[in-house]
Amino acid sequence: MPSELIHKFMRIDHLPHIWCAGCGNGIIMRDVAVALQELIDDPEVNLNRGKVVVVSGIGCSSRAAGYMDFDSIHTTHGRAIAFATGIKIAHPELEVIVLTGDGDCSAIGGNHLIHAARRNIGLTVVTFNNDIYGMTGGQYSPTTPTGDLGTTAPYGNIDRPFDIAQLAAGAGATFTARGSAYHVRETTELIRQGIMHKGFSLIDVYSVCPTYYGRKNHKGGAVEMLQWQKENMIPAARYYAMSEEEKQGKLLIGTLTHTNFPEYTAQYAKLIERAQAKAKKGE
Amino acid sequence: MAGKRKLVLDPSWCKGCGICVAFCPKQALELEEEKVRLKADNECVLCGLCEARCPDYAIWLEDLEE
């Protein structure tokens, strides 16, 4: 029997999972479980696990909805946020968590992402961002760095990559953050904050795909890729103490934006109230 | 940390990625035929970093039964 945490939050009969040796997705999925455990244990939050819904789309990342033992739905490619929006509109009291990948979220589902962010609907989106389409064999994705190789970019990718957290922030998301598979403690805390936030939250978590992205780009195995995250992704406290020169080529692990704006389902409830009051008056 | 704890391994879930071995601050772990094991002569301090970074949930800390 695995650890108490895994036993409590995962469908044990579906484990060990399908992900490759060294894939970062298992680490990130555990971070989500730990964040939920903390919110359940927190007497001020007292999260009811029966109110948690896990929604995913398609891709390696999206297998997570099948492994996590909550009310969950594994939807069509790119549409996780669209399904999650429907669930949240129908039942605003639910904590709706979307587990998605870089391709699912920012390519196939890019339009859903920007409009959910624009509406500031209270979803928590966690991207398992591995810079590649792993499940289909290593095609380049919208987050593949310029110049890197994929099976569909044999001479190097000429596109500029998306920064998914900045994309969501630009579209109006009120909580955006960046985590990594290596930075477990920081990432778990960002996911916890994202779930607590009343509005659209997106935590872009850098995963590692040693099988396709790593091997294709000679980045080594899982250990070397996590070592890169350790050296180049810097937790906020240290990052903000660095000089501009030191920050060159480094990425912040932490919150990118945290603002307040009315949440969509709350606004929608008010709209219904207004319309019903009008109808009563016979207007 | 409440109570005494121990490190538990389940080699049948281990895929041999070596993440726990590489990032153990005490170099207490090793791979044997692509499966994790605790070195015979180890200085494990039960920090739990292996559990936190194991993508396959094959290693964890557990409370010792009284």
Structural domains in chain B, CATH included, are 5-63 (3.30.70.20)
Nearest CB to A19; choose among B13, B18, B55: B55
In A2-47, which ranges are continuous DSSP H helix?
4-9, 25-41
Nearest-Cα residue of chain B relative to residue A225: B19
How much of chain B is in helix, strand and coil states, percent to nearest 5?
A: 20, 25, 55
Flag if A15 and B57 touch (Cβ within 8 Å): yes
State which residues of chain A have pLDDT below 50. Answer: none
Interface touch B57/A3, C-beta < 8 Å: yes
For position A1, what pLDDT does the model report?
Answer: 77
pLDDT level of residue B2 (50, 70, 90 thresholds): low
| % of chain B beyond a pLDDT of 70 | 95
Determine whether the interchain pair A223/B15 forms a contact, defined as Cβ–Cβ distance below 8 Å.
no
Q: Is A156 touching B (CB cutoff 8 A)?
A: no
Q: What letter represents residue A89's amino acid?
A: I
Domain A4-280 = CATH 3.40.50.970: yes
Q: At what angle do helices A80-90 and A264-280 cross, to 10 degrees?
A: 40
CA dist B39 and A146 (Å) reads 42
Given a contact cutoff of 8 angstroms between Cβ atoms, the answer to whether A216 and A191 are in contact is: no
* Nearest residue of chain A to residue B60 (CA atoms): A3
How many inter-chain contacts (A to B, CB under 8 Å) are there? Answer: 72
Q: Do B22 and A223 touch (CB under 8 A)?
A: yes
What's the burial of B46, exposed, middle or buried (CB within 10 Å: 0-12/13-18/19+)?
middle
Average pLDDT over every residue of B15-33: 97
**Interface contact A68, partner B, CB < 8 A:** no
Residue B22 to chain A, least CA–CA distance (Å)? 7
Coil vs helix vs strand at A193: helix
Q: Does A20 touch chain B (CB under 8 A)?
A: yes
Which residues of chain B approach chain A closer than 8 Å at the C-beta? 8, 10, 13, 15-19, 22-23, 49, 51-58, 60-62
Quote the CA–CA distance of B63 and A82 in Å, as a whole number.
Answer: 42
Contacts of A20 in chain B (CB under 8 A): 15
ipTM of the complex, rounded to two decimals: 0.95
Residue A84: its H or E element: helix A80-90
- Is there a contact between B35 and A240 (Cβ–Cβ < 8 Å)? no
Give chain A's end-to-end CA distance (angstroms, integer).
Answer: 64
Q: Which residue has the tokens 């000679």?
A: A218
* Residue A59 near residue A104 (C-beta atoms within 8 A): yes
Please tell me if residue A35 touches chain B, with a CB cutoff of 8 Å. Answer: no
Residue range B6-33: average pLDDT? Answer: 97
Helix (H/G/I), strand (E/B), else coil: A89:
helix
Give the Cβ contact number of residue A278 at 10 Å: 10
Q: Tell me the pLDDT band of B66, cut-offs 50, 70 and 90.
A: low
Q: Given this model, what pLDDT does residue A14 score? A: 96
Residues of B in contact with A223 (CB under 8 A): 17-19, 22-23
**Which parts of chain A are beta strand (E)?**
52-56, 71-74, 95-101, 123-129, 132-133, 139-140, 175-180, 201-206, 233-235, 251-258
Parallel/antiparallel/unpaired status of strands A71-74 and A52-56: parallel
Q: For chain A, what are the domain ranges?
A: 4-280
Measured distance CA(A240)–CA(A230) in Å, rounded: 16
